[in-house]
Amino acid sequence: MKLIGDNLRITKPDIQEALKSGDPMPVQGLVKLCVEKGTFAIDVNTGPLGKSPEKGMAFFIKAVESVTHLPLLIDTSNPVAMKAGLKGASNRPIINGFSLEPRKLEKILPLAKEFDCDIVGFLLYPDSRVPKDEAERFEVAIELIEKAEDAGVPKERVIIDPIVPPLAWEDGIVQARAVLNVIRTLPDLLGFDVRTIGGVSNLTTGAGNKKKKNLMVQSYVAMLATAGLDYALLDILNAETVAAARASSILSKENIFSWGMVPGG
């Protein structure tokens, strides 16, 4: 399981101010920290960039790529911003992402073919609802792959996101278990070695107690690793969560064990 830092978010005040002022240093400093902590890629979560989306995206791509050659997940729902990011990226870009929502099928999915890149596929209904259980998620996954192939995007290019739910939802625990079963079953269901990605940080959305939040994330990320998740989107600067994720990945493989593999001093 590869770990992807989701730390670069437009919702952070210092990142908002960096965009507003055109100062790349806050972005560069944050990305450097993520690279130092061993992130596999950088999730560039710019939001929709409603005003001057091309200029805003160009700012982020240039700032990030000035300090790293790691792959970039371009995370925006704005197709204009997305296309600008794909055009400007020198590092290997990944579209994050599309779903059965009509606008994303029409405007975002075709960009994966145009730019010959991987694309994250969210298991969401056309009206943005999250499927209730694993059976519904399987139905959406099958349709999502069909839509991708109809658009000329090879199924192997799609990275499925089964949508990690907040535990605070009424059925949050049931949904969280369903996600694990979906990850385990998708390769057999779809008939190929489908890759999966999960936003681990979603699990504790709304949580107030940091210690309890960390405990639940650490426990669940271990379960995700065991289920076979390929990419975990998480706070790469949270040392405890990252250590748990990396230790879990060791236990999920059938390699010869050595203590040198275990993170820590």
Q: Of 186, 188, 181, 194, which is closest to residue 154 (Cα–Cα)? A: 194
Give yes or no for a contact between 225 and 245, defined as CB atoms under 8 angstroms apart: yes
The pLDDT of residue 50 is 83
∠ at Cα 50 (199, 96), nearest 5°?
A: 25
Per-residue pLDDT, averaged over 70-95, amounts to 96
Among 41, 20, 18, residue whose Cα is nearest residue 31: 41
Q: 264 pLDDT exceeds 70?
A: no
For the segment 217-233, what is each residue's pLDDT rounded down to a tens digit? 999 999 999 999 999 99
What's the pLDDT band for 254 if we cut at 50, 70, 90? low
Strands 2-5 and 93-98: unpaired
- Write down the pLDDT at residue 248: 85
Q: What is the mean pLDDT of the chain?
A: 94
Residue 109: predicted pLDDT: 98
pLDDT over 80 (residue 261): no
Indicate whether 21 pLDDT > 70: yes
Q: Return the pLDDT at 265.
A: 53
pLDDT at 207 over 80: no
The first and second tokens of residue 91, run together, are 């590092």
Inter-residue contact 48 to 75 (CB < 8 Å): no
Q: Which of 60, 217, 35, 199 is nearest to 130 (CA)?
A: 199
Percent of the chain whose pLDDT exceeds 90: 87
- Rounded CA gap, 166 and 201, in Å? 9
Contact at 8 Å (CB) between 140 and 129?
no
pLDDT of residue 5: 96
Q: Which residue has the tokens 């493989």?
A: 253
Which CATH number belongs to the domain containing residue 15 in this structure? 3.20.20.20
CA distance 141 to 187: 11
The predicted pLDDT at position 234 comes to 96
- What residues have CB less than 8 Å from 17, skipping those under 6 apart? 23, 26
Q: pLDDT category, 43, cuts 50, 70, 90?
A: very high
Question: How many separate domains does the chain show?
Answer: 1
Structure tokens at 169: 């939802």
Where is 86: in which H helix or E strand? helix 79-88
Q: Domain range holding 165?
A: 2-261
pLDDT tens per residue, range 157-178: 999 999 999 999 999 999 999 9
The per-residue pLDDT for 258 is 66
* Dihedral over alpha carbons 211, 248, 231, 172 (to 10 degrees): -50
Mean pLDDT of the region 191-195 = 96
CA dihedral 253, 257, 260, 263 (to 10 degrees): 40
- Prediction pTM value: 0.93
Residue 259: its pLDDT value, please?
Answer: 62
User: What tokens were used for 227?
Assistant: 């289920």
